[in-house]
Amino acid sequence: MADLSLFSNEQIAALLSALPDPAFILTRSGRYAAIFGGTDSRYYHDGSGLVGKSLTDVLQPQKATWFQAQIAVALAAQGLHVVEYTLAADDVKGVGDDGPAEPIWFEGRVQPLGYPVLGEDAVLWVASNITASKKLEALLRMQSETDALTGLPNRRKLIGGLTEHFELFVRYRTPTSVLIFDIDYFKGINDEYGHMAGDKAIMVTAEVCRHALRAADFPARLGGDEFVVLMPHTGIEPALAIAERLRIKIAEALREPGTLGRGATISGGLSEMSAGDASYEDVLKRADDALYRAKRDGRNRIVRH
């Protein structure tokens, strides 16, 4: 702990004013009693005009209520309260088109003060702009959940989607179907035309999935030439029609000039979540069994289970 007796009042005021991040003294009722720092002009504007105003003067009602709730949490805990939050142009009164184009992320460190300010309990709220780290975090998350070759969700993202929709099915019995398919004789394509041709077939298949499926459908690359399509709010009969249309469109795309030396088809297995399922793995296993039957029965078909 610094010995403040070493500094004059003017020096302490200068130190506070030099803080890169802004520090707000806010009362329990949401009044701006004082503002220090915020000298990093890359991220902050001069906030001195806020002093004397209240949160409700500056922010839209819902946002002002949220800030006051965080102040109350810190005061009740009598300890440091750390929160992450966004501020967008439409959160701040009177900003309009002059505000940032995208929401700005902040980390707020809220510390109760041991003395009243303007006759009220008060906190020190230090706001740090963390937008850059949040964008990096989102980018890394997207990369970790995206298949590098096709740009579709990968196995990790797929499992998350299957888990989420299985939980919704258990709670609300929302019909949900799952299609698993792969490219017929894919090993022969690699052997005859090379792995670049195989990669091309996978990328074309993914592109058809992106454009031929509905907006609510969730296609993912499971691995190799194997794909899964999660179809929320869809029973087995409409799912079968969607799967058949996808099968035809993929075959048409793989016959296009410049795609492969010859055409290729897909085989798929389709199943629907049912009341007896213990997890999403049960429906995926049934769909995989149906895919095996489609292969055994001659390929270039969709088999339901």
Q: What is the pLDDT at residue 97?
A: 60
pTM exceeds 0.75 for this model = no
Interval 126-153: pLDDT, tens: 999 999 999 999 889 888 999 999 999 9
Q: What is the pLDDT at residue 124?
A: 96
Q: What is the pLDDT at residue 18?
A: 84
- Rounded mean pLDDT of 38-51? 83
Interval 233-285: pLDDT, tens: 999 999 999 999 999 999 999 988 777 756 799 999 999 999 999 999 999 99
| Distance of alpha carbon 229 from alpha carbon 222, whole angstroms | 10
> Is pLDDT of 8 > 90?
no
What residues form DSSP beta bridges with 24?
35, 125
**Per-residue confidence band for 96, with pLDDT thresholds at 50, 70 and 90:** low
- Rounded mean pLDDT of 43-64? 90
Q: What is the pLDDT at residue 1?
A: 63
229-239 burial by CB neighbour count: b if 16+ within 10 A, else e?
bbbbebebeeb
**Per-residue confidence band for 15, with pLDDT thresholds at 50, 70 and 90:** confident
CATH architecture of 145-304: 2-Layer Sandwich (3.30)
Q: What is the pLDDT at residue 202?
A: 95
Residue with tokens 């459908």: 217
- Residues 178/231, Cβ–Cβ less than 8 Å: yes
Nearest to 269 by CA among 249, 243, 248: 243
Residue with tokens 């793989």: 254
Q: What is the pLDDT at residue 217?
A: 97
Q: What is the pLDDT at residue 42?
A: 78
> Is pLDDT of 31 > 70?
yes
Nearest to 104 by CA among 117, 88, 92: 88
- Rounded mean pLDDT of 185-202? 91
- Rounded mean pLDDT of 13-37? 91
Residue 105: both structure tokens together: 């992320």
**Per-residue confidence band for 98, with pLDDT thresholds at 50, 70 and 90:** low
- Residues 221/227, Cβ–Cβ less than 8 Å: yes
Please report, as a single letter, which amino acid is at residue 67.
F
Residue 196: both structure tokens together: 């670049």
Q: What is the pLDDT at residue 155?
A: 95
CATH architecture of 4-138: 2-Layer Sandwich (3.30)
Compute, in degrees rounded to 10, the torsion defined by CA atoms 71, 44, 86, 90: 100
- Rounded mean pLDDT of 168-182? 96
Name the residue ranges covered by the structural domains of the chain.
Answer: 4-138, 145-304
Tally of CA atoms within 13 A in the half-sphere of 148 that contains its CB: 2
Summary mean pLDDT of the chain:
92
Cα Rg of the chain (Å, integer): 29
Q: What is the pLDDT at residue 83?
A: 97
